Structure formats: C-alpha cells, structure tokens
C-alpha cells in the first residue's frame, strides 16, 4: 500500500493517492501503526494542495500524539499543526488580580468547590517573582534577585466568581529538610478534599533533593492557621525514576474507595498510583496501555466527574504539550482526555488553546461550575491567572479520537 501510494504521489496523481490513503485510514489511535504513520506523512502535502483541511488536521493530530513518532518529528508536526489549533470557545473569562506583593504576579490558579460552604470556591493562586521573555529566557522581576520564589494565596470566591470574599496567605511549614536551590518554595499546588472537608495538596519542590531535581510532595493545608504542613516526598513506583525530574502528577480522591490516588503519566501507559500516606511510596493501582507519547500528553488537571451522553465517559482531565523552537517563547496547547468509571482513558480531543496569540498557557485545574459548564484554571505567560468557564456542550462537541 505504501509503495502504491508513493508511486501515485510521484506521478502527480493526487486523487488516486487520496483513494489509496483513504482505504487504510483509521480513526482509532490504538490501531495506528507504522504504515499508517508513513502514509500520513506522505499525504500531508497532497491534502494541503487538495484543500482537505479536516483530514489534514486529523493526520497532524495523530502525528503529534502517537508514541511511535519520535520527538524530533513530533515537534516538526506540532509546527505544522499550530496554524490549525483554535481558541476554545468560552462563556466567561475571569482574571484574578495579583496580591500587592512587590515583584510578584499571579499565575496558575487551582480551583475547587469549598466543601464547607455551598456555592463557594477555593482557589489557590500561585504568585511568582519571575517572567519569561520572547526569547524563552527566564528573569527575576527584581534585577537584584537571582532566586525564583513562589508565594501561595487562597482566594475564597462566590459561585459566579464575581467577588473575592477573603484572601489567605499560606506559609510553608512543611517539615522536610530544604536544600539550597535557585528555585525555592512550593510550586503548582494541586488541591483535593478528603473526608468531606480536609484540604490536601501535592506540590513540586526543587529543595527536597540536594541535586535540586524537581520532586512531588504531599501536604496538608490548614487555612484557618494559614499554613501548609506535612511535605512527604512521593516516590515513583520504579526506583530508576525516583531521582529524575518529577512534575505534574495529578492527585485525586477515588470516588469508589475514598483513597488518595495520583495519575503518574498518561503515556505510553496511563499509570495510576495508590499513595502510602505514611511513607510516600507509590504503587501501581492501574496501568492502562495507551498510544500516547509522554512528552505530548503531560499532566494538567486531575480527573473530575463529567459525562458524555451515550458513552462510558465518567471523568475528564486535561493534558498539555508544547511547541519548542530555539530562542522563541515556548507555546503550550491542550487536549481533554475522557476516562471511564475506573479512570481508564477512552478518548482524547483535538488540540486547543485558551488565548490568542499563543504563548505559555498552563492548565492546572478543572471543576464543575454549573450543571452545564466547567471552570478551568489557567495561567498565562507566568504573569496572569484566569478562571475560564466552558460549556459542557462545547467540550462534548470537540472532535475526539478513540484510545
């Protein structure tokens, strides 16, 4: 088939090439194989000339997510896909103001329902003292500083996110020994509620190891006392992974058991951890094979309840991927992943973004806003924090690919 397709393209027979390609096309990522990949790559210029936009986008989506496409080629395909990635339609976009702390800006907000007060939300708003320039270089906002810092604030807001009722600064009182690092404090807190009202979090720390390699810690948030306590290091299931970079684990409480779990990765296997709260050791609760590349399906927001009528979808999560170019600010894009009642990935959507022009966008949270919409917490370029309301109908209407 590949030979026939190649011959038709060489002989400038686009319709014949299209017919051959169409006969072997698959809509399932799991059945996508090397022959499909090679055929798709050859068809990119053909479909471009034939103005088959939707099928061209499908090709590029597959080539930018599949684990069998190497990293270099994948990044090239992301560049080709970028012009077709559109801004996700939204109902409302709320910009969260920064606290009056010199040299610090708000970013990467984590939102969840307040378990103690109906119709209220708790939002952890990370504040950072740095920015990224257009050449993808990071700088502290105070030129006299060289250490990156984070300050965390809890915002308590009404159900429409129109009023900030109170703001609580959180002090890091975690108990682990902190090594010197050029990046300090607890980054990207992901919150979850256990036992109906007890607030927990995971966070990234570059001070828990002498090497300053990022690691994930588990902590408690006592907001009446304005502290983050605990801070046990979470250990990956494979010892060879424990001392390398760990970021974007997605914590949640299992609706079926009440246990704390984490999505460690989405690809090439979706690995879900059970967490030992006393030792920090993690063991695999589930390992679902997926066709996803890890680098192109990095964790964003943990799974939350969501339904698509007529399907087995029970939860929704987000993943992000990046377009890397030399000396140009990194661009982030996103996909929704739908999971069943056992947290097994079922499908993944086409890519989207939240802002135009594209830049650094970091989705860290998602929760129910109303019976018909979701709130999504997004940081923009590490200098702004947004909560974006998106309708369930918009999410359900996105093109999705079966896993």
> What span, in angstroms and rounded, lies between the C-alpha atoms of 179 and 184?
9
> What span, in angstroms and rounded, lies between the C-alpha atoms of 120 and 197?
13
> Total domain count for the chain?
2
Report the run of H or E that residue 60 belongs to, with start and end: helix 53-63
Same domain, 8 and 122: no
Structural domain containing residue 58: 2-63
| Residue 54 CB-density burial (10 A; 0-12 exposed, 13-18 middle, 19+ buried) | exposed
276 located within any domain:
yes
70 located within any domain:
no
In b/e form, how buried is each residue of 296-325, taking b as 16+ CB within 10 angstroms? Answer: bbbbbbbbbebebeeeebbbbbbbbbbbee
Of 121, 110, 113, 132, nearest to 165 by C-alpha is: 121
Confidence at residue 26, expressed as pLDDT on a 0 to 100 scale = 81
> What span, in angstroms and rounded, lies between the C-alpha atoms of 403 and 366?
22
> What span, in angstroms and rounded, lies between the C-alpha atoms of 160 and 268?
38
69 located within any domain:
no
**Other residues' Cβ atoms within 10 Å of the Cβ of residue 2:** 14
Inter-helix orientation angle 53-63/71-81, to 10°: 150
Last residue in a domain, options 15, 42, 63:
63
Phi, psi of 351 (to 5 degrees): -75, 155
For residue 333, what is the domain's CATH number?
A: 2.115.10.20
75 located within any domain:
no
Same domain, 220 and 102: yes
Same domain, 194 and 48: no
Same domain, 50 and 97: no
Same domain, 8 and 137: no
Same domain, 169 and 284: yes
Q: How far is CA 327 from the centre of its chain?
A: 23
316 located within any domain:
yes
> What span, in angstroms and rounded, lies between the C-alpha atoms of 345 and 178?
37
83 located within any domain:
no
> What span, in angstroms and rounded, lies between the C-alpha atoms of 21 and 12?
15
pTM: 0.96
78 located within any domain:
no
Same domain, 149 and 45: no
Q: Is 261 helix (H, G, I), strand (E, B) or coil?
A: strand
Last residue in a domain, options 42, 63, 84:
63
Same domain, 121 and 21: no
> What span, in angstroms and rounded, lies between the C-alpha atoms of 108 and 301?
11
> What span, in angstroms and rounded, lies between the C-alpha atoms of 317 and 342?
13
Same domain, 15 and 151: no
Same domain, 196 and 267: yes
DSSP 83: G
Torsion-angle region of residue 305: left (phi > 0), alpha (psi -120 to 50) or beta?
A: beta
80 located within any domain:
no
Last residue in a domain, options 63, 78, 107:
63
403 residues of the chain, pLDDT tens digit each: 789 999 999 999 999 999 999 998 887 898 999 999 999 999 999 999 999 999 999 999 999 999 999 999 999 999 999 999 999 999 999 999 999 999 999 999 999 999 999 899 999 999 999 999 999 999 999 999 999 999 999 999 999 999 999 999 999 999 999 999 999 999 999 999 988 778 999 999 999 999 999 999 999 999 999 999 999 999 999 999 999 999 999 999 999 899 999 999 999 999 999 999 999 999 999 999 999 998 899 999 999 999 999 999 999 999 999 998 999 999 999 999 999 999 999 999 999 999 998 899 999 999 999 999 999 999 999 999 999 999 999 999 999 999 9
Same domain, 339 and 194: yes
Confidence at residue 118, expressed as pLDDT on a 0 to 100 scale = 87
Of 136, 94, 65, 127, nearest to 354 by C-alpha is: 94
The long-range contacts involving 238-246, CB below 8 angstroms and separated by at least 24 positions, are 243/209, 243/211, 243/213, 244/213, 245/213, 245/214, 246/204, 246/213, 246/214, 246/215, 246/216
Same domain, 350 and 307: yes
């Amino acid at each position: 088939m590949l030979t026939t397709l190649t011959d038709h393209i060489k002989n400038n027979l686009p319709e014949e090439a299209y017919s051959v390609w169409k006969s072997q096309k698959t809509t399932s990522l799991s059945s996508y194989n090397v022959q499909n990949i090679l055929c798709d790559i050859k068809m990119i210029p053909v479909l471009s000339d034939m103005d088959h936009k939707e099928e061209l986008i499908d090709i590029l989506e597959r080539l930018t997510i599949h684990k069998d496409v190497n990293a270099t080629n994948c990044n090239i395909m992301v560049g080709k896909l970028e012009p077709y990635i559109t801004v996700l339609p939204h109902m409302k976009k709320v910009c969260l103001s920064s606290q009056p702390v010199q040299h610090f800006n708000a970013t990467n907000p984590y939102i969840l329902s307040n378990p103690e007060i109906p119709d209220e939300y708790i939002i952890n708003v990370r504040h950072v003292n740095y920015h990224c320039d257009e050449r993808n270089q990071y700088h502290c906002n105070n030129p006299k500083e060289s250490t990156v810092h984070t300050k965390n604030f809890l915002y308590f807001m009404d159900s429409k996110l129109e009023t900030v009722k109170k703001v609580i600064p959180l002090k890091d009182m975690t108990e682990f020994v902190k090594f010197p690092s050029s990046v300090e404090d607890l980054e990207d807190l992901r919150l979850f509620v256990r036992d109906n009202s007890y607030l927990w979090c995971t966070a990234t720390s570059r001070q828990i190891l002498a090497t300053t390699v990022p690691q994930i810690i588990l902590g408690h948030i006592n907001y009446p006392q304005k502290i983050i306590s605990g801070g046990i290091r979470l250990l990956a299931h494979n010892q060879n992974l424990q001392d390398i970079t760990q970021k974007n684990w997605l914590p949640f409480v299992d609706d079926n058991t009440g246990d704390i779990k984490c999505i460690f990765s989405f690809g090439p296997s979706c690995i879900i951890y059970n967490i030992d709260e006393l030792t920090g050791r993690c063991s695999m609760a589930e390992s679902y094979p997926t066709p996803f590349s890890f680098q192109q399906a990095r964790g964003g927001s943990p799974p939350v309840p969501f339904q698509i009528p007529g399907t087995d979808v029970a939860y929704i999560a987000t993943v992000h991927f990046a377009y890397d170019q030399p000396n140009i600010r990194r661009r982030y894009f996103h996909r929704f992943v739908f999971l069943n009642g056992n947290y097994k990935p079922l499908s993944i959507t086409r890519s989207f973004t939240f802002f135009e022009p594209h830049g650094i966008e970091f989705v860290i949270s998602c929760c129910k806003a109303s019976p018909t919409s979701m709130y999504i917490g997004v940081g923009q370029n590490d200098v702004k924090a947004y909560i974006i309301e998106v309708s369930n109908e918009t999410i359900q209407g996105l093109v999705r690919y079966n896993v």
